[in-house]
Structure 1
Amino acid sequence: KSTILETFLNVPFFGIAIYHNTYLYANPYFCKLLGYTLEELKKLAIWEIFYYEEDKEKIKKTVEKRLKGEYFFKSYLPITLKTKEGKKIDTFIFTGTIFYQNRHCGFIIGIDITELKKLQKFLNLLRETNQILIHCSFEEEIYKNILPIVWETLELKAAWINDKKGKILYCYPKDFKPSKNLIFTITRKKPYFQNINSYSLCIIPLIKNENTKAFLNLLSSEKDYFSQDILSLTIELQENLNFAFKKLNLIEKDLTLGKLAEKMEELLIIADKKGKIEYINPAGEKILGLEKEKLLKKNCFKLLFIPEEIIKLEENTTRFVTYHKPDKVKVILELKISFIKLPSKTKVIIIGTDLTKKLEFEKERETLLYQDPLTGLLNKSGFIKRCSDFLNFFKTPFILILIDLYNFSYINRFYGYKVGNFCLQELAKKLQSVLKDKEFLGRTEGDEFCLFITNITKEAIYEWIKVLENILNEPISYKDKKISLEWNMGIVAFPQDGNTVDELWEKVNLALRSAKNEGPFTIEIYNPEIEEKIKKPLETELLIKKALKEDLFVFYYQPYFETETLKLAGLEALVRIKRNNELILPNEFIKVLENSSYLLKFNFLCFERNIKKIKEWKIPISINISSQSFKSLDFFELLNHFKEILSQYPYFLELEITEHTLIENIEITKDIIKNIKSFKIKISLDDFGTGFSSLNYLKDFPIDTIKIDISFIKDLVKDIKTYYIVENLINLCRSLNIKVIAEGVETEKQFRFLKKLKCDYVQGHFLSKPLSEEEVKTLLKL
């Protein structure tokens, strides 16, 4: 059986040691605590088991006194010992002097308080962190303030916070950079301990709104520093931080709601069930025209005319009230009244929207929505709405007259948009001036006006046409300029042509389209045949679309020759559509093409193909240009696109225009031709003699060539007057240095007469029919 002494020496919770110059005895617990065997301890100086140098110096002095025989007791509460591995052990040590083995010795009893001290550090940390958390208002503030306290209190190597991706958000000390093997992102939501080499790491997930937001990392230089004994304390630290995040979340919500209430433009009142105002926002003060101090003394139900019945029912509702401010300004309010039932009372929430400006805005919006800003007339939406409103109340006969300004972009291009806008405004005034009550006018497109004329007979329609013709044909004066407009007109009648606005609008546009297909200054009154009439143009337009998409446009070239030598002088490009094995001639589609939206694409294709042939064949080629193309805004952009290659082949490209194109607006036409010739392009006047021919054209315009129309050539050999006209025309052109081409030469006799008259060039089937590209190549080889 063990003796009392043996039992005492083998107690497993305190260490006992006896020393003289070296350690003479140490019980098993003392050896285990320091990690030494008894033999190893006997080789150490007494003070070598102490961690700090200042403690070692104290111990040396105490040992000297004891070995000299001084009897005294001394305690060290606490003192840090050093294990064989260099680890720190916090202990309570009690020492005394004893007589052992016939000499004075020192006696040591020690208790390990490392875990106790560690627990104390964590308790201190919890107290300090709680104080910090109480005063923090922002998440970042918590992070920045908590890390230094954690680091200092627990005597750590470092502390940091990283996000779920491992990115370091905050670190203390600031110059510490955690290595990759120290960064963990765990899925568990409880604190987690990990030994990494000689370090000990505690990872505490930070939870916000039930999701892990980040990780607090505590790094100790001591292995096993974080033990199961302090797990509950780390959980408590985690709960405190998580609670702080919840508190911050509520604070953020309160601040957000507070700021929202302060900044919202609507009135916001929080009141009790008696109508006493507990809160009103700044917008509410402004809307009601009273200061907060005065409003808090008022009953909000009486102030805003809210009946008691609504309050008693406690049902959410909406009311519209008219409120008069102290300055007598009337305000229309939409009040949304809600009730929030709390355990002991009910709060009344009133949100009021000032509808006064909104109603004014609606009026302005309707003006913007339905009014044309340039002329002040109804726009298309406004015009159709007005027509619909009329039909809803009246069934009296009326007509719609839709007027389109033909090629109005031509005026914008050469006079500028300011002048174009002036023309539209002046025309709007003139049209408006002839309208009576219940009649109205709209600008339904950029260059389109529509009139609504009521109480009208069929005979009166023609009277209106005359009135409108007079207005449209009268030039508009702008400074020193007289600007003439071209136009088309479509007319539809109610109820003969339709019973709804949509039906009438569709048919008046069909009538206008039919008129536009016939050229400017054309009027179409709707009739059922129009739909059949425009069916063919619609089919032709689809053919044109297909030809562009599938590359069906082909060019044939009719040569013209020098009359004296019959040497090839140039080619006239003539377009065709090749569908399967059929060649569709231009008289089948050219008119529709010139009035369609595909004209620009076709012009580009025409120029591209024929300039390519000029480059390939090195021979002049002439292209027929429509009036619409000639005046188009895009025409000069097209020429600019090919400017470089045109400069390489000067005057090889010739543009053929008609007399009609010249006379549309002589002043503008001069400018256009001047600009065209700046690209080193020749101008040819086609079909000369078929229109209102004037010798002034030859004087006023820089024309390079005229083409005598086929009608003159046919009569040349059988009518002496025609002969003399052609003779004098050729002589005049020669004097003016203008070349002459006789087109439509069909017989040898016609050719001989033209040769006798010294006509410069001849063209016609007598000499050559239009040729395909392959046939032109063969001709060039001859």
Structure 2
Amino acid sequence: MPVTKCLDWLLSRLSRATTIKELLVQPRVKILLAYLFILSLGLAISITIFLSGRQVTSVATTLIEEKLPRLEAINELYLDILERERLLYEYYATTNSQVILPKLARIDQSFSANFRTIESAFPNFDSIEKIRFGDQKVRHLTQELDNNLQQTNVNWDQARRQLVELSDTGRNILPSLESLVTQIKKEAFESSKETQKSTELSTQLVISFSIFVIIIAAFVGYYVNRYITETISRRRLAMFAERSPNPIMSFSWRGELSYSNPACHQLMQQQHNHSNRTESLLPDDFQVRLIELQKSNNNYSQWVSHIHNDGILQYSLSLLRDLDTCHLYIEDITERTLAQQQLKYEAYHDVLTDLPNRRFFDEHLNELVQKNKQKKPFSLILIHIDRFDLVTSSAGFKTGDVLMQTVSQQLRTFCQGYCSLNLENKLYRLDSNKFSLLLDHLPEHDFAEHIAQELHHSMGKAVCIVGKEFHLSLSIGISHYPSHSLESEALLANADAALTRVKAAGGDGILCYNQDIHDKEQAWITLERDLRLAIERNELELYYQPKITAYKHKINGLEALIRWFKSDNTMVSPANFIPIAEQTGLIIAIGDWVIKQAFQQLKTWQKMNLLEDDFSIAINLSAKQFQHPDFVDNIKLYLIEADINPKFIELEITESLLMGNIEKSIYIMHQLKEIGFKLSIDDFGTGYSSLSYLKQFPIDKLKIDRAFVMDIETNNDDKVLAKSIIDLAHNLNLSVIAEGVENDQQLAIIEELGAEEIQGFYFSKPKPAKEIETQYFN
């Protein structure tokens, strides 16, 4: 369009737009501004190119009209000098003045004319003065030479000197001519560089303008396409509104209803709205929200409004500022909202018992702690159903589920009837057989303890499920806020620590977290950390306790016992760190270390020829170590590394260890016997092994536990039991060793009962290998 029309249209849009920002966002305005910008830029580039062309023309004119004639004049001067020199030599040779002198006169005239040309071009130039001086000198010498040659008696020596001087003087003019040529070339080169720069600038401007025109064309094309697409989209949107299943309403900028689609009337019928006014679907605050949105920088707003009959509507208000209209979209989200609420309920409740779950509990506990600025006391009770795993393993998971539902209902009933605080809302199911009561209100000081006692008593009755009767018991752990912790995670951990202590004691009890539990936990954590580093720091050491033959009292073996001496020389009792190693799995690494150290020690003593052929070292095996899938392969490898015979090694296995998995234990024991190890059952009589299994064990020896020896001189029952064990072993062709012998009476009784070996403090405490060597092998 013409520029004037463009400007008129732009001014009209500017007068209608409320802000410059509104004007600039319109596609047509952007296209017009791009058009005007290209026009202005093209005009500026055209002027620049015109001025550049004028400069090129000026430089070319100067070169043709001035520089080239000067070069031509200098060239003529150069030729005149050479021709003059030739004529002078010819004159010297012929002395024909009538022929030569006229030619020299013409050369002088030509030289003077060309000299005047370059003299005007280079005023005040040193080379010009040198050329003038040289020309005058040449003419003077020429006159002297002519006078000499015109005489009757020519002085040829003088003529030769004059001719040489003439030649030198003429040639001395040539460097001055060359300097003038250099000056002309320099001026021409500078002019050409300026011309080249101007030409390059013009070229760059033309190329840049072309690229910019392409970019602007793409920009214009984009906005034209966008404008067309928006127009088409709006037309399609207008058609879509009629067919949309959701109500759509259109308003003027002032909020006056201008259109509503058929879905609006359908929604009114669903709501039993018989007013026949579409505006009745609008929320009461619609006009307020419309004005707030118009004043803001946003073009879209969405909110939810509840209506009668539990209906929920979602309103979406959209502004079309360039069209001075707005659209309102209405959607009935009742079903979706109810579905979301159901999903949220399921996410926060246990599927089986319908109780609040662990997520609900964690959030509620965190909220209680974070919002409790006054540190108001509350209590946390953890409830564990004892032996529930045995129910699922014996009766099946379905029965277990029914039982859990019954137990949870009993817990609900208890919480409902205990007091008026509605404790049912405080009950949570944390995992398969663990529940929690979160008491955020404590009417009395020991309220949590009283509830726990009543709950423990009420759940003591048998539960009948599918014709089966189950007797369940509860283990309960309690922690209090803020006395036991100010953090939710620590509060839960403390209650769980108390619960774990109850379960470790056999369950069916109640325990409130206290400082003793805390101290033991901290000591356990510290001990575990140090134990992990003990092997690396070489803090572990093997001690050996002698095994003595009965009556002869001769050493025939040793039992390897681990000791832990920390870097500060304090000793940690095995009774303290072995249970930690068992629970954390460190017993595998420690057990392997013991085996390798004992093997190496045996190899050392054998090299020193200190041991008899029937000598053996006994090594205790832990349950986890014995049941480990790589145990047999590893001990074979350690045998190869130490290069010892397995018949000198006795592996001690506790009675309770074997009863965990009888068939697997027997299989492993047979593998060890095939390798060549001796096997013995440690602490026999304290477990629950049956004679039917005992005869299947491929063992060589039974070790009577110290519990039957420590009072054997005063307790006849211990003596009878020890006698029974020894007789049983002998009937099974097994030898017997009694441990814990500490005095003469115990030794005499044990020997009288028939034990083959004695072990105890009576002969020696466990000692390091060096002390054993000194006391027994030297």
TM-score by length of 1: 0.51
Flag the 1:452–1:721 CA change in 2: closer, same or farther, 3 A: same
Partner of 1:41: none
What code does the residue aligned with 2:499 have? L
1:340 Cα deviation (Å)? 3.8
**Residue 102 of structure 1 aligns with which residue?**
none
- State whether residues 320 and 326 of structure 2, in contact with CA within 8 Å, keep that contact through their aligned partners in structure 1: yes
Aligned pairs (5 A) from 1:37-76: none
* CA pair 490-710 structure 1, distance change in 2 beyond 3 A: same
CA contact (8 A) 1:670 1:701 kept: no
- Give the helix-richer structure, 1 or 2: 2
Q: Please list the CA deviations of residues 506-537 of structure 1 after superposition, one character each: whole Å capped at 9, or x if unmatched.
A: 66445324435x5322623427xx22454244
Matches of 1:407 and 1:643, distance apart in 2: 36
Aligned 8 A contact 1:334 1:352 in 2 = yes
2:651 is aligned with 1:654: yes
Structure 1 CA distance for aligned equivalents of residues 265 and 767 of structure 2? 84
Contact 1:270 1:347 in 2 (8 A): no
Superposition deviation, residue 542 in structure 1: 1.7
Q: Give 1:578's match in structure 2, choosing from 558, 566, 573.
A: 566
Work out the CA distance in 1 between the residues paired with 2:225 and 2:774.
Answer: 88
The corresponding residue for 1:759 is: 755
Deviation at 1:744, TM superposition (A): 0.8
From 723, 728, 743, the counterpart of 2:739: 743
Alignment match of 1:708 (pick from 704, 707, 713): 704
Partner SS, residue 337 of structure 2: helix
* Partners of 2:563 and 2:572 within 8 A in 1: no
Aligned residue runs from structure 1 range 127-142, under 5 A: none
Deviation at 1:607, TM superposition (A): 2.0
Using the TM superposition, give the Cα deviation of residue 251 of structure 1 relative to its aligned residue in structure 2, in angstroms: 7.0
Counterpart CA distance in 1 for 2:467 and 2:734 is 35
Name the CA shift for 1:373/1:478 in 2 (closer, same or farther; >3 Å). farther
1:77 match: none
Structure 2 unpaired stretches of 5+: 1-56, 58-63, 69-195, 269-275, 295-300, 372-376, 417-421, 603-615
Matched, 1:245 2:233: no
Q: Aligned residue for 1:519?
A: 505
Q: Show the 5 A alignment for 1:168-567.
A: 234-247=207-220, 249-250=222-223, 271=250, 273=252, 274-276=256-258, 309-310=287-288, 313=291, 315-316=293-294, 318-321=302-305, 332-342=312-322, 345-350=323-328, 355-356=333-334, 359-360=337-338, 362-373=340-351, 376-383=354-361, 401-404=381-384, 423=400, 426-427=403-404, 429-433=406-410, 435-436=412-413, 437=416, 438-440=422-424, 441-445=427-431, 448-451=434-437, 461-469=452-460, 488-491=475-478, 508-516=495-503, 519-521=505-507, 523-526=509-512, 530-549=514-533, 551=535, 554-559=540-545, 561=547, 563=549, 566-567=554-555
1:670 paired residue number: 662
Partners of 1:640 and 1:255 in 2: how far apart?
81
Contact 1:709 1:742 in 2 (8 A): yes
Distance (whole Å) between structure 2 residues aligned to residue 762 and residue 466 of structure 1: 50
Separation in 2, partners of 1:372, 1:348: 47
CA distance in 1 between counterparts of 2:652 and 2:264 reads 72
TM-score w.r.t. the length of structure 2 is: 0.51
Residues 1:622 and 2:614 aligned together? no
Whether 2:596 is the aligned partner of 1:612: answer yes
- Higher relative contact order (CA closer than 8 Å, sequence separation 6+): 2
Does structure 2 retain, via aligned residues, the 8 Å contact 1:272–1:347? yes
1:571: how far off?
2.1
The CA distance in 1 between the partners of 2:222 and 2:646, in whole Å, is 79
Residue 764 of structure 2 aligns to a residue whose secondary structure is coil
- Displacement after TM superposition at 1:582 (Å): 1.6
- The verdict on how the C-alpha distance between 1:550 and 1:499 changes in structure 2, with shifts beyond 3 A counting, is closer
Q: Distance in 2 between matches of 1:636 and 1:475?
A: 40
Q: 8 Å contact 1:489–1:512 — kept in the other structure?
A: yes
CA contact (8 A) 1:497 1:526 kept: no
Kindly tell me: are residues 678 and 234 of structure 1, through their superposed partners in 2, closer, same or farther at Cα, counting changes over 3 Å?
farther
Paired residue for 1:175?
Answer: none
Tell me if the contact between 1:563 and 1:755 (Cα under 8 Å) persists in the aligned partners.
Answer: no
More strand by share: 1
CA displacement at 1:238 relative to structure 2:
2.0
Q: Distance in 1 between matches of 2:449 and 2:474?
A: 22
Tell me, yes or no, if the aligned pair for 1:686 and 1:706 is still in contact at 8 Å: yes
Q: Does the CA-based 8 Å contact 1:646-1:679 persist in structure 2?
A: no
Aligned pair count reads 517
Which AA in structure 2 matches 1:544?
A: E
In structure 1, list runs of 5 or more residues that go unmatched: 1-12, 14-27, 33-222, 291-297
Contact 1:337 1:348 in 2 (8 A): yes
Relative distance call for 1:776 and 1:372 in structure 2 (3 A) is: farther
Q: Structure 1 322/401 Cα, relative in aligned 2: closer, same or farther at 3 Å?
A: closer
Aligned-partner Cα distance in 1 for 2:505–2:590: 23
Structure 2 counterpart SS, 1:320: strand
Which residue number in structure 2 is paired with residue 771 of structure 1?
A: 767
Shift of the alpha carbon at 1:752?
A: 5.1
Q: CA deviation at 1:430?
A: 2.9
Deviation at 1:490? 1.9
Q: Which residue identity does 1:520 align to in structure 2?
A: G
Instruction: Report the CA distance between 1:742 and its aligned residue.
Output: 0.9
**CA offset digits 1:730-769 (Å, max 9, x no partner):** 1212333555331112245544544454424332123332
Supply the distance in 2 between the matched residues of 1:677 and 1:429 (Cα, whole angstroms): 45
Structure 1 residue 570: Cα displacement = 4.7
Q: Which entry has the higher C-alpha Rg, 1 or 2?
A: 2
Deviation at 1:585, TM superposition (A): 1.6
Q: CA RMSD in A?
A: 6.0
Deviation of 1:314 after TM superposition, in Å, equals 6.6
| Residue 725 (str. 1) matches residue 721 (str. 2) | yes
Q: Does the 8 Å CA contact 1:625/1:655 hold for their aligned counterparts? A: no
Local SS of the residue matching 1:336: strand
Secondary structure of residue in 2 paired with 1:315: helix
Structure 1 residue identity aligned to 2:672: K
Give the 3-state SS of the residue equivalent to 2:683 in structure 1: strand
The answer to whether the 8 A contact 1:575-1:585 is kept is yes
* Aligned-partner SS, 1:403: strand
Q: Displacement of 1:242 after TM fit?
A: 0.6
Which amino acid in 1 is paired with 2:505? G
Decide whether aligned partners of structure 1 residues 406 and 335 sit closer, same or farther in structure 2, where only a CA change above 3 A counts.
same
